[in-house]
Amino acid sequence: MASDFSFKSQVKLDKNGLDNTAQRRSRSLQVMIFMLIVTTLVTLPLFRLAELQLIQGAYNRQRAENNRIRPVSVAANRGQILDRSGKILAANRSSRSVYLWPKERSAQEWQKAAATLSPIVNIPAAEIVKKIDQAGYKSALPVRISKDIDVGTFVALKEQANTLRGVEIRVESNRDYPNQQLASHLLGYVGEASLDELKANPEYPMGMIVGKMGVEKLVNPTLEGVWGSRLIEVNAKGEDIQDLGEQTPVPGKSVQLTLDLNMQKTAEKALGNRLGAVVAIDVKTGALLTMASWPTFDPNIFTRRVSQKEWDRLQGPDKPFLNRAVQGYPVGSTFKIVTSVAGMESGKFSPSSTLVSSASINIGGVTFNEHSAGYGAIGFRDALAYSSNTFFYQVGMAAGPEQMSKWAKEMGIGGSINLGLLGLDAANHGQVPTPAMKKKMYGEDWYVADTVTMSIGQGLVLCTPLELAVMVSTVANGGWRVQPHLLASQTNTPITKKVKTAIKPATLNVVRQGLIDVVLKGTGRAMNDGTIPLSGGKTGTVEMPGHPDNSMYVGFAPADKPEVAIAVIVEGGGFGSVSAAPIAQEVFRTYFQKQGFKPTNKKP
């Protein structure tokens, strides 16, 4: 029994030992698994930390820098635009603009912020979001959404500052045209560089201001300067802490024009709100002294957001953007100057030739009328003075259209001057077509009536006021065709070198004397009132079927030693002596007052 008991007890003890061993092994396994998990959890961050610091350290340090440092473009002041005497035509002033920092908010957050901003800055929310989209929501550069904000907008934005994270109001330089709309077609305006302009000029920062029209565009590389940059450290709220450094911007250089500010003011005031243009040039150099066109526009509106009302006006039927000084017009009797030259230079007439003028003349079975009863037998001087139509019908028929076209071009009409020097948008040359040109352009044959109407500046003849000023200066200065230009730096340089025409001195002399007779005894007698020196000129009254007649005048002064030539058109102005000539006289008066001329105040 004892032995039996002893055996059973031993067996029982062995079973308990086995159970304990299994339990210990299980616990050990659990401990090992736990330790492995703990070790893994501890080791992985260490490996990641080592990777971030050792392997990717430089990259991540750069990212951290970018998160706390903002690059800010610093605009360079554009160079000033000055008139011939140094008077300011375009300069700069301080203004406030609104910028957004895209990476400060998510796309969804900017949607909400844009809705808050929209009524304050008066810009549609969709337009604000579109600008951020274009820049990219991860962009480290700011996006300008509004320029030249007023005081009310500034105060409203400041009141919302706590809820408008990523919105910045920045003081910057803004273009300023102190004379508002004066000479706007010449000066042009500025605006933000387009996407194409940014691609073409990789050195341009976002928001770069460039010339969009006129002189601002023509000499933009000179005016624009080089923008600088600042590095600003910001805190977690995006608030500026300190400047870390600045690359100083280089201001643009000033540009001096040949334009005379006082003459320009006089021309625009005299033209008033009548459709038309005035051009005055130096007869010796071609320097442009005046170029006025109405209607016009104020380039200051482009330094901020253009309102819908302003834009609608700019697109209106009167076309304020159109520079009428470089658009072709039928020019009427002012073209008789060209017909005179063509008649004599063709060899068909001499300076002393006479023709019989009458109330009408029959050519090819068609009757063409004089504007009066006729003047009997007259020569070129009296024909110009009294503006005889029947005299010039005969001259034009004898000389022919090819000769009139040839000498018109020789004197500056129809493509012989370089418009590119002026940098004027949509500038055109006139046209004095030949039969072959008419066939090519219109697919029509040439008729006798074409030659007759051409001889008095009607029909197919088109000349720009600028070309007419060059044409009359060619007569005034002894036969030199000048090159009109606007930059003072180009005066008396090879690029503006005047060209000696083939017009004989005797021809020029009789035409010049005829134009002086216009003022002494002809259709321009009102110009000889003593307020300016004796001048020469030619009036023109241009028939416009279905519309009132256009009024034109071309001239030069002084008569003995010409200095300045002028051309004026007033659309629907009627007689040239009534509307256009008085404008020319006002511009001449301003010019000669500066020269020290003392009026005699005699009556014509």
Q: What is the pLDDT of residues 187-218, one digit of tens each?
A: 999 998 888 898 899 888 877 889 999 999 99
Mean pLDDT of the chain: 87
Q: What's the pLDDT score for residue 255? A: 97
Whether residue 558 has a cis bond before it, omega within 30° of 0: yes
Q: What's the pLDDT score for residue 49? A: 57
Identify the three-state secondary structure at position 554: strand
Where does the pLDDT of residue 12 fall: very low under 50, low under 70, confident under 90, or very high at 90 and above?
Answer: very low
Where does the pLDDT of residue 5 fall: very low under 50, low under 70, confident under 90, or very high at 90 and above?
Answer: very low
- Phi/psi for 174 (5° steps) reads -130, 145
Q: What contacts 32, CB < 8 A, 6 or more positions away?
A: none
Ranges 144-153, 305-314, 572-581, most confident = 572-581
280 compared with 371, residue with greater pLDDT? 280
Q: What contacts 596, CB < 8 A, 6 or more positions away?
A: none
Kindly compute the dihedral angle of the four CA atoms of residues 274, 289, 580, 528, in this order, to the nearest 10 degrees. 150
The C-alpha atoms of residue 191 and residue 170 are separated, in whole angstroms, by 17
Identify the three-state secondary structure at position 297: coil
Q: What is the pLDDT of residues 423-458, one digit of tens each?
A: 998 899 999 999 999 999 999 999 999 999 999 999
Q: Is-contact 293 269, C-beta < 8 A?
A: no
The C-alpha atoms of residue 149 and residue 166 are separated, in whole angstroms, by 18
The C-alpha atoms of residue 314 and residue 301 are separated, in whole angstroms, by 11
The C-alpha atoms of residue 389 and residue 367 are separated, in whole angstroms, by 12
- What average pLDDT does the segment 272-288 reach? 97
Query: Could you give the C-alpha distances from 536 to 287, 374, 405, 472, 560, in angstroms and in order?
Result: 20, 23, 24, 9, 9
Q: Is-contact 398 342, C-beta < 8 A?
A: no
Q: What's the pLDDT score for residue 264? A: 98
Residue that is written with structure tokens 């040109």 in the block:
437
For β-strands 69-74 and 81-82, DSSP reports them as: unpaired
Kindly compute the dihedral angle of the four CA atoms of residues 439, 442, 443, 445, in this order, to the nearest 10 degrees. -50
Question: Is it the case that residue 3 has pLDDT exceeding 50?
Answer: no
Residue count of the chain: 604
**Percent of all residues in the chain with a pLDDT value above 70, rounded to a whole number:** 88
Q: Residue 556 corresponds to which amino acid?
A: F
Q: What's the pLDDT score for residue 218? A: 96
For β-strands 366-369 and 255-256, DSSP reports them as: unpaired
The C-alpha atoms of residue 514 and residue 337 are separated, in whole angstroms, by 9
Q: What is the pLDDT of residues 498-524, one digit of tens each?
A: 999 999 999 999 999 999 999 999 999
Question: Widest CA span of the chain, in angstroms?
Answer: 176
- Helix then strand then coil, % of the chain, to nearest 5: 45, 20, 35
Q: Is-contact 252 260, C-beta < 8 A?
A: no
The C-alpha atoms of residue 273 and residue 372 are separated, in whole angstroms, by 32
- What average pLDDT does the segment 231-238 reach? 66
The C-alpha atoms of residue 61 and residue 263 are separated, in whole angstroms, by 63
Where does the pLDDT of residue 8 fall: very low under 50, low under 70, confident under 90, or very high at 90 and above?
Answer: very low
Question: Which pTM value belongs to this model?
Answer: 0.81
Q: What's the pLDDT score for residue 159? A: 79
Where does the pLDDT of residue 52 fall: very low under 50, low under 70, confident under 90, or very high at 90 and above?
Answer: low
- Quick one: DSSP state of residue 163? G
